[in-house]
Amino acid sequence: MNKKIVRTLCLGTLVAGVVPQVQAEDLTVNRLLASQCAQCHGTNGHSVGSIEGLTDESYKDLYEDLMDMRSEDRPENIMDHQALGYTDDQVRRIAHYFGTLSGKAGEAPEFKD
């Protein structure tokens, strides 16, 4: 792992600690949820292989992508099926975590009721 990645990881954790999007949300809970993405997408989204990384994802885009996957009429991709395993709030927390790491948590998604 190179120094740039290390700095990103540390900065990510730091930002996550001081800019909570939702009042009094336990960000370590989001971190735990999001860590389940790492087996395929790399530690904190730093992919080393052909599967796309998650280091450049914004809160809004990732949330909307995951919600789209959850609402496929006929889920066929592995990610459609992964996304279907999580609740809306869990998807939001995961998206918030990666959006915070990339520094793109500023713009919140439009939440579906």
Partner 1 sequence: MSMNRRRFLQACGASAAVSIAPTRVKAASAPHVVVIGGGFAGATAAKYLRMWSDRTIDVTLVDPNASHTSCVLSNLVLNRRITLKELKMDYGSLSSFYGVNVVRDRANKVDGAGKRVRLKEGGWLNYDHLVIATGINMINPPSIDYKLTPHAWIAGGQTNRLASLLNKVGPDSTVIMTIPKSPYRCPPGPYERACLIADIIKRKGLEGSARLQVLDANSSIQAEKHTFENAFNNLYGNIVEYITDVEVEDVISTEGRVVTRTADYVGDVVNIIPQQRAMGFIRNAGLTGDGLWASVDPLTYASTVSGFDGVHIIGDSQATGQPKSAHMANAQAKVCVDAIIRSLAGVPNDDPERVANVTTASACYSPITYDQASWLSAVFAYNTESGQMALTHLGEADRWSTGNYRQMFGWASNLFTDSFH
By CB under 8 A, residue 41 contacts partner 1: yes
CB 94 within 8 A of CB 30: yes
By CB under 8 A, residue 14 contacts partner 1: yes
By CB under 8 A, residue 22 contacts partner 1: no
Choose which of 68, 71, 78, 106 interacts with partner 1 (CB under 8 A).
Answer: 78
By CB under 8 A, residue 10 contacts partner 1: yes
Choose which of 4, 48, 110, 113 interacts with partner 1 (CB under 8 A).
Answer: 48
Q: How far is CA 8 from the centre of its chain?
A: 15
Distance from C-alpha of 59 to C-alpha of 26, rounded to nearest angstrom: 17
Distance from C-alpha of 113 to C-alpha of 110, rounded to nearest angstrom: 10
CB 101 within 8 A of CB 8: yes
Q: In the complex, what is the shortest distance from the CB of residue 39 to partner 1, in angstroms, rounded to a whole number?
A: 5
CB 19 within 8 A of CB 100: yes
By CB under 8 A, residue 71 contacts partner 1: no
By CB under 8 A, residue 13 contacts partner 1: yes
- 23: Cβ contacts below 8 Å, ≥ 6 apart: none
What residue ranges bind partner 1 (CB under 8 A)?
A: 1, 3, 6-7, 9-11, 13-18, 24-29, 31-33, 35-43, 47-51, 75-76, 78, 80-82, 84-86, 89-90, 93
